[in-house]
Amino acid sequence: MIQSHHFYAILPASQSVFHWDTADFIRVIKNAAKTANLTVIGELAYAFQPQGVSAVILLAESHVALHFWPEEAKVTIDIHICDYQKDNQAKARLLAKILTIQISESESMHGWNYLYISG
């Protein structure tokens, strides 16, 4: 049976995010995933010209995608975590919390949406 947790948000970008390069975005996502006890197995980032960044990490549990829109001062985040052999909802929620703090410098989870998928 497929069971997964999908968290997604559009967050305000703190001023520090404007100084990050693609390696910084990957580092932030990877460190957050590792802190949440998720398994990073791949990564890719791309800097758009004249502005913007997309960064994705592949997890054994699924993926995290992030898109920085500097012209809007926003970051969109998509977290998809599967429940393979155990319930990973707490890990997905912790990952969302850590990324919120790193990107928005806020602990508020107000902008997050959650979808549980089962079938």
Residue 40, both tokens: 């990073």
Burial of 107 (0-12, 13-18, 19+ CB in 10 A): exposed
Residue from 6, 14, 54, 62 carrying the catalytic annotation: 62
DSSP 61: T
Residue from 82, 104, 106, 118 carrying the catalytic annotation: 82
CB 26 within 8 A of CB 55: yes
DSSP-derived pairing of the beta strands 74-82 and 53-59: unpaired
82 labelled catalytic = yes
Residue 2, both tokens: 């497929």
Residue from 67, 104, 110, 118 carrying the catalytic annotation: 67
67 labelled catalytic = yes
Catalytic annotation, residues: 62, 67, 82
